Amino acid sequence: MDRTQAGKYGADVTTVGKTIQLVTNGIKAHEYRPAEVDDEVEIRVRYPESYRSLEQLDNLRVSTDKGMVPLSNFAVRTPEQKVGTIKRVDSRRVMTIKANVKPGILVDTKVKEIEEWIKSEANIDPAVSYRFKGEDEEQKKAQAFLGKAFGVALFMMAIILVTQFNSFYHAFLILTAVIMSTIGVFVGLIVTGQPFGIVMTGIGVISLAGIVVNNNIVLIDTFAHLRKQGMNAMEAVLRTGAQRLRPVMLTTITTICGLLPMTLQMNIDFITREVQMGAPSSQWWVQLSTAVAFGLSFATLLTLIVTPSLLMIGANVGSFFERRKDRKKQKKLNVSIKGSTATPAE
């Protein structure tokens, strides 16, 4: 731009820059925030798409005090190399590539595809390292946090159970039921065709652990109480299953029925007496409710079938070691009697 020549027409750099923006990114006129969006939307003014080209720059006219003046009177357009920008983070050169996935496609799936492509076909120099950020990074942070939270919860449960039951085996049974109940969570996600959400599904698994622990505590505590009364293991197991069937089933049925509307994405409006399926307000909780509902259904089978069986196995193993100990004591007693040289008179 020839500033001297432009000054004759009353044009300056700012006016020319705004005129060129009509062909490029547009001039920002205002901002608008729609009702359903949190971020503001910019309102920009620019030429129609058919007029946004390099040739159109030569036909631009600048509005000045002397009227509309052709831009070519004091400006010349010549191709030049683009000025590059080098970005560094922690003294290392970085380049950022941004992209979004189409609706209905999981980010994790695309990240795995890109990683496989980079390792097999991209032929990137070994000196170049890459790292996925954005949603993938946030997902890994949430996964690490929930993993630690679940581990701490299991550790605290183990300490409390060992101190209360005074038995490592009983505490092991309860924690095993908690871990195995996650099988029901994965089965439920497969049946409903939902992805494993790190945040909501993870919170559902941790919530499920509390209910599973409660059901198993009720069962094992009853078994231990009957054993202290002198009842044999088989009868104690059968009595425990019969007495605690109703409390365990009531807990399971009431919990699942309470979560069923969220699992089915059902929204009930009591004021207008309308029932909507797949409402936006229910989509946020569907993964959590699905994890708890299916996980609790599977955990109930573990509580009523597997836990009594493991209690019986533990009692049988304990009886086996007690009998073995009694045999050793009996053998030592027989050896001591046979090895004595004293006469009856002595």
CA 104 – CA 124 distance, rounded (Å): 30
Percent of the chain with pLDDT over 70: 95
Name the pLDDT band for 340 (thresholds 50, 70, 90). Answer: low
| Same structural domain, 219 and 168 | yes
pLDDT at 34 over 60: yes
**Mean pLDDT across the chain:** 81
Which tokens sit at 144? 């690490």
- Is 143 part of any domain? yes
If you average pLDDT over residues 220-241, what whole number do you get?
83
If you average pLDDT over residues 299-313, what whole number do you get?
83
Name the pLDDT band for 102 (thresholds 50, 70, 90). Answer: confident
For residue 7, the domain's CATH number is 3.30.2090.10
Look-up: residue for tokens 């790190």? 198
| Same structural domain, 219 and 326 | yes
pLDDT at 309 over 60: yes
CA count, 13 A, side-chain hemisphere, 226: 22
| Same structural domain, 69 and 163 | no
| Same structural domain, 57 and 145 | no
| Same structural domain, 116 and 206 | no
pLDDT at residue number 150? 79
If you average pLDDT over residues 73-101, what whole number do you get?
83
pLDDT at 22 over 80: yes
Hey, what amino acid is at 75? Answer: A
Residue 207, C-beta contacts closer than 8 angstroms, at least 6 positions apart? 288, 292
| Same structural domain, 111 and 154 | no
**Stronger pLDDT, 341 or 337, i.e. the higher one:** 337
- Is 346 part of any domain? no
Query: Lowest mean pLDDT: which of 144-153, 185-194, 317-326?
Result: 317-326
pLDDT at 32 over 80: yes
Task: Find how far residue 139's CA is from the centre of its chain.
Answer: 7
pLDDT at residue number 314? 80
pLDDT at residue number 90? 82
- Is 127 part of any domain? no
pLDDT at residue number 284? 72
If you average pLDDT over residues 303-312, what whole number do you get?
83
For residue 140, the domain's CATH number is 1.20.1640.10
CA 51 – CA 177 distance, rounded (Å): 68
| Same structural domain, 257 and 149 | yes
pLDDT at residue number 338? 62
What letter would DSSP give residue 255?
H
Percent of the chain with pLDDT over 90: 0
- Is 282 part of any domain? yes
Query: Lowest mean pLDDT: which of 55-69, 83-97, 208-222, 312-326?
Result: 312-326
pLDDT at 344 over 60: no
- Is 245 part of any domain? yes
Q: Please state the domain count of the chain.
A: 3
Long-range contacts of 91-96, Cβ-Cβ distance < 8 Å, separation of 24 or more: none
| Same structural domain, 35 and 113 | no
| Same structural domain, 92 and 63 | no
If you average pLDDT over residues 177-199, what whole number do you get?
80
Which tokens sit at 234? 């088989």
Name the pLDDT band for 346 (thresholds 50, 70, 90). Answer: very low
Task: Find how far residue 29's CA is from the centre of its chain.
Answer: 41
- Is 312 part of any domain? yes
- Is 130 part of any domain? no
Look-up: residue for tokens 């097999």? 120
| Same structural domain, 235 and 312 | yes
Q: Buried b / exposed e across 158-184, counting CB within 10 Å, b at 16+?
A: eeebeeebeeebbbebbbebbebbbeb
Q: Which domain holds residue 108?
A: 87-120
If you average pLDDT over residues 283-292, what whole number do you get?
80
Phi/psi-derived region of residue 180, left when phi > 0, alpha when psi is between -120 and 50, beta in every other case: alpha
Q: Which residues pair with 28 in a beta bridge?
A: 44
Name the pLDDT band for 278 (thresholds 50, 70, 90). Answer: low
**Neighbouring C-beta atoms of residue 313, cutoff 10 Å:** 13
CA 231 – CA 226 distance, rounded (Å): 6
| Same structural domain, 69 and 93 | no
- Is 343 part of any domain? no
| Same structural domain, 164 and 230 | yes
**Stronger pLDDT, 279 or 53, i.e. the higher one:** 53
If you average pLDDT over residues 252-267, what whole number do you get?
82
